[in-house]
Every structure is written in C-alpha cells, then in structure tokens.
Amino acid sequence: MRSSFFLLLLASTSGWCDTQTDLEYAKAGDWSLKLDLHRPQVVNPPLIIYVHGGAWRAGSKSDVPVAALLDHGFAIASVDYRLSTQARFPAQIHDIKAAIRFLRANATRLQVNAGKIAIIGSSAGGHLAALVGVTNGHKELEGTIGDNLDQSSDVSCIVSFYGASNLQSILGQSTEFGLTVRIPALKLLLGDVPEQKPDLAMLASPVAHLDKGDPPLLLIHGDADPQMPVTQSREFAKAYETKKLPVTFITMPGSKHGGAEFYAPEMMSRVAKLLEEHLR
C-alpha cells in the first residue's frame, strides 16, 4: 500500500507546522514501517527523531509530547517501530536506525537538515533512543532493514525521558509495583527475564556500549517514579561521567512516570538549548 502524503496543521504551543504522515521508511518482511514528519515553518530545520514509549509493547507515533520543540525551529520525525508483541529485540533498534538512514537519504526531498540529528524518547522510547545513540556502527544493532544502508545512523545528541539504561540491573532496582510492569514487558522484549537472557540483556543495555565517541546525553527522570527506577538514570549518568562524556541529569522532585511537568515550556526550553548547541 502506498504511503499517503498530505498536509496537516499541527498545533504545538504557539505556532503551526506542516505534517506528512505515514511515510514508509522501510519494510521488515511484509511489515510496513512508517513515520510522521512534523516540520516547522522555517527553511531546512534541524531534525529530531522521536521514539514513543509503551513498555516496548504498545504506543504509537501519533503521541508526540515534545511537539513544543517545533516552536524552537526543530523538525520532528516520530517513528513507529515493531513492538515486542510483533518482534523481539533487537528488531526495535534495527527499525529506528533504518528510519534515521531513510531520513538522511531523503533529507533534500523532505526539506530537513539531517547532517546532525538528535534522538529523543520517553519511557521505553527513552531506552531505545539511548541505545540507538550509543551504538553507531554496532554490527548486531545496525541491522539490514531498509534500502539506505549506505547512510549513517549516527546521532549527535540524546535525550531520554525516564528511560531504562541497564536491563541487567533494572529488576533489582524496581519497586514491587514496578516489577509487575517490568517483568512481563521484559519477557516480551527479550524472550525471558534478563537473568535467563544475560547476553541479550547486555546487548540491550546502553551502559554496556559506552565509548569516547558517544554523543552528549540529557537525562530527565522523576525521583518518585514507581515504574522506571530513577536509579537507571543515575547509573547511566555515572557511567557517562566515568567515561568523561558530556551528560546532564535533571531530577524532577516528586514526579512519577511521565506527566505534563516533563514537557512544560520551561523544560522544553532547556531541551531546546541543548539541541541548539549540538545541532545548529
């Protein structure tokens, strides 16, 4: 089925943007992989990849809580990927990297600047965004999805909203309630709990892939999160610091797993400032 291209007025906070929906960026077997591209009314805007959450098993590209970044002059490509109910890890990473390659190959036609790209994700999407960001060129994680294998999947900046960083330690850090969410989600993603899939759990852990070439990282996490332990972001920040990599860790006092405060204007301005520093 051909992707549909049409113009949509998308309200962010104070302006408008053009949207192209359901752009097919690749196929995985018979599965059509699609993204929505939201472009502000500026020439050749820098590009953000947004990765939705949903415990790896749910969610949609239609959910774009960072849409306010359009008002700061950034284009946003919101990506659908195979959920864990459709394919196990690392299919999700293969898909997102294929989307980045597609956008780079088609940047002129799509009227975006894909020379430098930022990746942002929330919850499970934060985990996936971070893993994509720290594994450029990783043979097992690049995959062979899509028609643009000559393009780079490299990104220049990572922003993770309350995402996981170490699937080997996450269950030991979780609350009793958190375990009721994480255990079934991880079983779907990996095929079993991490201790039964140690190699796969390590492959899926951003903290296990750090090297001196990794991009700047911004972590935003509530210290009362009952679902995704804030310790995951603390561990990630410490690992970045140990490698002397640029990292900023914003703790939201009293905040839980998501909420309007994470995407409020003042927070979006802080995120935009980081993006402007590394993309423009």
Query: pLDDT per residue over 31-46, tens digit each?
Result: 999 999 999 999 999 9
How wide is the angle at C-alpha 241 spanned by C-alphas 235 and 244, nearest 5°? Answer: 150
Domain that holds residue 166: 8-279
Q: Sort 270 into a burial class: Cβ within 10 Å, 0-12 / 13-18 / 19+.
A: middle
Q: How far is CA 124 from CA 63, 121, 204, 246, in A?
A: 13, 7, 12, 22
Residue 15 lies in a domain: yes
Tell me what pLDDT residue 280 has. 76
When computed from its CA atoms, the radius of gyration of the chain, rounded to whole angstroms, is 17
The one-letter code for the residue type at 28 is: A
Quote the DSSP letter at residue 216: P
How is the beta sheet containing 217-222 ordered, strand by strand?
A: 8-9, 17-28, 31-40, 75-79, 46-51, 113-122, 157-161, 217-222, 247-252
Quote the DSSP letter at residue 42: S
- The CA distance from 68 to 105, in Å, is 26
- The CA distance from 50 to 223, in Å, is 23
- The CA distance from 58 to 45, in Å, is 30
Query: pLDDT per residue over 100-112, tens digit each?
Result: 999 999 999 999 9
Quote the DSSP letter at residue 247: E
Tell me what pLDDT residue 10 has. 41
Q: What CATH number does the domain containing 188 carry?
A: 3.40.50.1820
Residue 114 lies in a domain: yes
Which segments of the chain have a pLDDT < 50? 1-14
Residue 2 lies in a domain: no
Residue 68 lies in a domain: yes
Residue 1 lies in a domain: no
- The CA distance from 132 to 104, in Å, is 15
Residues 211, 241 contacting (CB under 8 angstroms):
no
Residue 3 lies in a domain: no
Tell me what pLDDT residue 158 has. 98
- The CA distance from 103 to 37, in Å, is 10
Tokens (6 digits) for 174: 């979780």
- The CA distance from 173 to 148, in Å, is 39
- Residue 219: helix, strand or coil by DSSP? strand
Residue 272 lies in a domain: yes
Residue 29 lies in a domain: yes
Tell me what pLDDT residue 15 has. 57
First-to-last CA distance in the chain? Answer: 36
Tell me what pLDDT residue 177 has. 85
How many structural domains does the chain have?
1
User: What's this model's pTM, rounded to 2 decimal places?
Assistant: 0.94
